[in-house]
Chain A
Amino acid sequence: MAITNTIEKSSAENDQKNLTQEVIDFKMVTFTLGGKDYGIDIMRVKEIAKFAQFTYVPNTAPYVRGVYNLRGDIISIIDLRLMFNLPAEQKAEDQPENGLILRLETNMLGVIVDSIDKVVGISSAQVQPPHPIFGDINIKFISGVAEYDGRLYIILDVDRIFSRDEEESPSTSEERAFAAPVSTASQAFHHQKSTGESDGGDKRRSADQITRDFIHEGLQAFSKFHVSPVNEHWFSGRLGEWQDLRKEQGRDAQFTDLEDSLEFLKPFYSHQTGAFWEDRYMEKMASALPEVESSIVHVWNPGCGDGHEAYSIAVMLRRRYPEKQIKIWAGDTDLLKISTAPNLVFPREKAPQSWDEYLTKGKNGFTLAPVIKDSILFEFSDMKNASALPKMDFIFCRDVLSFLRPDEQKRQIAIFEETMKPAGLLILGDNENLLEDGAWEPSDDFISMFRYR
């Protein structure tokens, strides 16, 4: 009796085990591509659809079949068979294609398949990792293989398939940052100093590349300056100058200390950094600013330091838009500098002669008059942190982006795009540009100013 008991018990345990193994916790929509069975995680599938009459989009990859109007949402349609070079049967023009609508992290997407099979529920423990010899589809797009009812299903990892372009892009932009040839667009740019490089200079380039990398690293280590598409054209020009200068002095081009790095960066800083802007510079800048429709001009000035820049902007805008209310959000991460900004005191000669009406005399020197001061809100704030700012007409961010890591720069530009009014202007440092970024176009020949498209 005791024995039967244990047997019963152990078989019960076995049942229990089998049961837990067969808990269905993964469901997939199965379909065929080129005669083989595939599956996609059902959580990624929004719906199953038949596509007819989609609109062909010219000049796209061959597997992009076009766009489709899904109850008002325009989604792109991708033919999985063409994407993976599988045989696809041609359907007549008016015959609908079978497809799935996928819900990806950021968008929706339609994919065309041969035919939809059914929804299959399996235990995720049953899914086996893909084997390299499988099929026609690149192994990194397969999240696993599962057997069900005597058939093998290849489970596709849709997130990986459709995000691979994004995955690749950071490395390419990195390469771009180091690539010596300068694009024709930036050559046309006024600040561009020609590097004078010809295609024949390949050999020299590799030796140059090493010096270049060393200097780049030196700038990063000593001054937190990052060479990126934003300042690359300046860097290339400056590098040549620097090498010549050091050769004359009989010294190595590489940096030995902070001094060298500061010396290298000296010409980088924009016109009148850390000082009030002279009338001439101000007029030039003001003449490049367009009319503003709203009654309030919203301006963001991250990296304002001790406020010289923010005050100059305020004076300039007051002259440029005498009728309008001006609101400037000025921020910096340097607590000491930003703390002095609201009550900046300076001797009279530091401010341009024509500023009389904007100054008040205090005990220890001159400060800005309330008409200017009240238009600026100084904040101890890091522009990298999201904060609830209103939409801006202008963003002045001179010589700040270059001191962010390239990935931070990208994120920062995205924040600017989000914060900018349509056709708003971003003013960067004299030696910075956004020509590599398709979303921005230069709007002035003299000032490094970019309009958000």
Chain B
Amino acid sequence: MRVEYINPFVESAYNILTEVLNEEVKRGDLYLKNTAMPMLGIAAIVGLAGDVEGRVLFDMSNDTGIKIASAMLTSMDMEAVTEINDMARATLTELANMITGQAVTKLHNLGFKFDLTPPAIFTGDNMTVSDPSFEALIVPMELPMGRIEINVAVRERT
């Protein structure tokens, strides 16, 4: 993945998570992957189009998903969730949207033009994601609620 794209994604993930959750966020080591990878349980996906093609995937366990959604909801004086319901899904979708949105804004300021597609949520057990001939950058984020893996696969249009 183009070097210039890395920082905006890492930074905005860090910023947004610290901001909305009001918790300490630790970034793990970045690494690259291209084989089919198992998903943790719940994944939000945002597509990218424009000068580039690709997608950003936010992968976490159900438990982490519930805790994060609850933390976000209670901070806005709403009720916490106990399961992955519509409210939880909507909240996590919004989180994905916020992070990707900020990253894209940063990239726009650097002169790269991307568009986002509306986010989608996948839930289920034993799922794997694979996109052949796409190398993904993994940004692991450690939160008190658990771990979110941000999986960014972007390539230049050729």
Contact = CB atoms under 8 A, between A and B. Distances in A.
Interface stretch (B59-67, B84-92, B131-139): B131-139
Contacts of A388: 133-134, 155, 158
Given A387-B135, A388-B158, A335 B30 contact: yes
A385 B4 contact: no
Given A380-B137, A387-B133, A388-B133, A342 B4 contact: yes
Interface string A266-288: 00000000000000000000000
Interface in A375-408: 377-382, 385-390
B3 A385 contact: no
Interface string B136-158: 01000000000000000001101
Given A386-B133, A388-B133, A379 B158 contact: no
Given A385-B34, A387-B133, A378 B3 contact: yes
Nearest to A335: B30
A333 interface: yes
A390 B133 CA distance: 12
Interface in A351-375: none
Contacts of B33: 385
A381 B133 CA distance: 12
B158 A390 contact: yes
Interface string A320-344: 0000000000000101001101100
A144 B135 CA distance: 42
Contacts of A378: 2-4
A333 B156 CA distance: 18
Contacts of B129: none
A377 B1 contact: no
A408 to B, nearest CB: 14
B32 interface: yes
A385 B135 contact: yes
Given A333-B32, A387-B155, A388-B158, A382 B3 contact: no
Contacts, number: 50
A385 B6 contact: no
Contacts of B3: 338-339, 341-342, 378-380
Contacts of B135: 381-382, 385-387
Contacts of B34: 382, 385-387
Nearest to B156: A377
Contacts of A333: 32
Interface string B30-74: 101110000000000000000000000000000000000000000
B1 A380 contact: yes
A380 B6 contact: yes
Given A333-B32, A380-B32, A381-B32, A386 B132 contact: yes
A338 B1 CA distance: 11
A419 to B, nearest CB: 11
B134 A387 contact: yes
A388 B34 CA distance: 12
Interface string B1-33: 111101100000000000000000000001011
Specify which of B134, B135, B137 lies most central, judged by the most chain A CB atoms within 10 Å of its CB. Answer: B135
B126 to A, nearest CB: 24
Nearest to B135: A385
B62 to A, nearest CB: 29
A378 B156 CA distance: 12
A389 B156 CA distance: 10
Contacts of A385: 32-34, 135
B140 to A, nearest CB: 14
A392 to B, nearest CB: 12
A337 B132 CA distance: 27
Most A CB contacts (10 A, CB to CB) among B3, B4, B34, B132 go to B3
A189 B34 CA distance: 37
Contacts of A387: 34, 133-135, 155
Of B30, B34, B137, most buried by chain A (CB within 10 Å of CB) is B34
Interface centre among A338, A380, A385, A387 (most CB of B within 10 A): A380
B2 A379 contact: yes
Nearest to A329: B156
A21 B23 CA distance: 61
Given A333-B32, A388-B155, A388-B158, A379 B133 contact: no
B132 A382 contact: no
Contacts of A338: 3
Contact of B2 (A335, A377, A382, A389): A377
Contacts of B2: 377-380
Contacts of A339: 3, 6-7
Nearest 3 CB-CB pairings of A with B: A385-B34, A385-B135, A378-B3
11 contacts: A339-B3, A339-B7, A342-B4, A377-B2, A377-B156, A378-B2, A380-B30, A380-B32, A381-B32, A386-B132, A388-B134
Interface of B: 1-4, 6-7, 30, 32-34, 132-135, 137, 155-156, 158
